[in-house]
Structure 1
Amino acid sequence: MVNQTVTMRTGGLTGAALLVVGLATILIVGLVPGLSALLVAIVIGAVVRNLRIVPPAAAVGIHWGSKKFLRLGIVLLGFKLSLSSLAGIGVQGIATLLITVTVTFLATVAIGRALRVSRVTRMLVATGFSICGASAVAAMSSIVDPEGESEEETAQAVALVTIYGTIAMFVLPALVPLLGLSDLQAGIWIGASVHEVAQVVAAGGIVSAAALALATVAKLGRVVLLAPLIAIVGAAEHRRSAGSTGKRPPLLPLFVAGFLAAVVIRTFVPMPDVLLAVIEFAANLLLAAAMLGLGFGVDVRKMIATGWRPLILGGMSTLVAAGTALAAILLLGV
């Protein structure tokens, strides 16, 4: 009980520091369009850790605070999503999202196994590349790594999402006229293929205003699928660890239930734009603070030692996502 009280007090102090630095990363990103606040936060945390700027004694508090911020941030992320908005991309568009997410996740896991990438890394890459980038990676890490022992792998997966998402952000819009895609097709293709929300917005805007609107809706549709994916993997991990003496992940994490509740509220309860803007800012701040804590757990030497396999996995996963989405769009007659 005493140790838990000390941890909570330390976590409260370090949590406040994480929020302050997280706010600074958001302000920095505001001055540099296209930069990811989550990636900046991870880099800052990793630099602080590897330069030994913060004493090791603070590590427990940082880990405790960042874990709490991550889960609350994921819950607030649900308020960005309205199920009614999916009507804009039609039944074929929704089917395209389901096919793309399913194929990308399963194919990435299979390719990762063939490349002999660690189980945690291939699960994180599969989730981030099939759903919604860094936020999905962080959410899945609490399921496949409940003890927080693989923070280097989590940070690496976030970095891969940023790298390949940025490449896709420029390549896909350039291919749209060559493929003869309409604004609707281009928007759904970008929304179903590009990893981060900010990257989707940038890529859709390159094509047209109509493609931007549709790409954003398609991307948010993918984000909705985070909850069922986490629930399914959580149930599988629960069974997998049935004979283990370590910590077992819950069947349905509380933060996932909160995320779903937020989506339902956003769908059926009218909310003023000002309130939604405040919630979105709070979600971004909490996730940035969580990524700082994640970065603090990164040992650069260990991450580099993982080699070239995760890099190849990220590239192949990006190709699978883009290829599957395009094939589904054409075959389903979107």
Structure 2
Amino acid sequence: MTTLSLTVLRARVHPLVPGFLISVVVAAAATFLAGHYHAPVMLFALLLGMAVNFLAVEGTCKPGIEFTSREVLRVGVALLGMRITFSQIAALGWHPVVMVVASVVITIVVAMIAARAMGFQTLFGLLTGGATAICGASAAMALAAALPAHPGKERATLFTVIGVSALSTLAMIVYPVVVRLLGFDATHAGMFLGGTIHDVAQVVGAGYGMSPETGDAATVVKLMRVAMLLPVIVCAVMLSRGQAGAQGGKRPPILPWFAVGFVLLAALNSTGWIPKSVQTFANDLSGWCLVIAISALGMKTQLKELASVGIKPIVLMVGETVFLAALVAAMLHWGM
């Protein structure tokens, strides 16, 4: 690399460093607090980020915060592919696959219709429905990265992350009681927990809190839901392209680079060539990227904007959560 190239690279990177480093510091603090208080790390990252949101208004940190909330997020989404192997999906047979695909598609469609009926944009229903149906805060961040920029996008994303994190924690406590009341065996209990709880960490906590067999089934079904992230992102991009074309705006690419990275890493992970240590490192790095990105996103948000969303979005997300739980329970009771 020539001296000129190094100079240009340094000129581009240097303005981003302060904002990136402050995002890392906030993410580290959020991770410590989440581990100490056993609460969702994404929620702590958002709250701590919003506490120092003056850093994103102006000054040396602003460019790096903008970069981190956008590009570091996309790296984290791509690395989610290292959580999935095709053999994990095949191990449970075709019934769970049908259940996952049907529940994800139906929940998102119902969410989009409900959002429209409540006066929101259809894309807001896609964002909240995708977060509920797939993998919680990670899905919300991934879908937000795929959707076109608009004035309310960041506020909608933050609200979705906060809502889905809170509902996921509540589900981790309540759903084990629900499966006992429904009389599910260990495998069906795991399928219910993995098919309904939003975030991976809460699925693991609820599943293995009941039994190892339940935990194994819950984790695999949850990873199948994570695998649905790619087709949903593609659908989100196609919908965004259609709206951008109708409005005369710039269309986003058909398949974002982070979605391509997601599926390539999932395929590579399925070969069995990747050492366990590399998989663990990639999963940890993905988690850190997402927490760092949500910290930056929190810094870009004003609390008064978030407080102005009203009661209707809360009703929408609670309704989506209850609908998904009822749908999966019905599938397991009558169809599996």
Match of 2:51 among 47, 54, 59: 47
SS at match of 2:245: coil
SS at match of 1:242: helix
Aligned counterpart, 1:56: 58
Structure 1: which 5+ residue stretches go unaligned?
none
Query: Shift of the alpha carbon at 1:189?
Result: 0.7
Aligned-partner Cα distance in 1 for 2:247–2:296? 27
Aligned counterpart, 1:74: 77
Q: Which amino acid aligns with 2:168?
A: G
Is contact 2:17-2:64 (8 Å) kept?
A: yes
Structure 2: which 5+ residue stretches go unaligned?
1-8
Aligned: 1:213 with 2:216:
yes
Is contact 2:57-2:300 (8 Å) kept?
A: no
Summarize the alignment of residues 95-106 of structure 1 with structure 2, pairs less than 5 Å apart: 95-106=98-109
Match of 1:37 among 34, 38, 41: 41
Is contact 1:93-1:329 (8 Å) kept?
A: no
Residues 155-188 of structure 1: CA distance to partner in whole angstroms, max 9, x if unpaired? 0000110121122112211011211101111101
Aligned-partner Cα distance in 1 for 2:248–2:64? 25
Aligned-partner Cα distance in 2 for 1:238–1:310? 25
Is contact 1:11-1:62 (8 Å) kept?
A: yes
Aligned-partner Cα distance in 2 for 1:16–1:53? 12
Aligned-partner Cα distance in 2 for 1:109–1:9? 42
Aligned counterpart, 2:5: none
Aligned counterpart, 2:110: 107
Q: 1:148 to 1:257 in 2, by over 3 A?
A: farther
Q: Structure 1-normalised TM-score?
A: 0.92
Number of residue pairs matched?
328
Aligned-partner Cα distance in 2 for 1:187–1:275? 27
Aligned-partner Cα distance in 1 for 2:29–2:282? 18
Aligned-partner Cα distance in 1 for 2:296–2:148? 15
Provide runs of 4+ in structure 1 moved above 4 Å: 4-8
Aligned counterpart, 1:291: 294
Aligned-partner Cα distance in 2 for 1:5–1:240? 38
Match of 1:91 among 94, 101, 104: 94
Aligned counterpart, 1:160: 163
Indicate the structure whose relative CO is greater, using CA pairs within 8 Å and at least 6 residues apart.
1
Aligned counterpart, 1:331: 334
SS at match of 2:52: helix
Is contact 1:22-1:286 (8 Å) kept?
A: no
Match of 2:206 among 203, 223, 241: 203
Match of 1:65 among 63, 68, 74: 68
Aligned: 1:143 with 2:141:
no
**In angstroms, what is the RMSD of aligned CA positions?**
2.1
Query: Shift of the alpha carbon at 1:232?
Result: 1.4
Aligned counterpart, 1:16: 21
Q: Structure 2-normalised TM-score?
A: 0.91
Query: Shift of the alpha carbon at 1:145?
Result: 3.4
Q: 1:55 to 1:151 in 2, by over 3 A?
A: closer
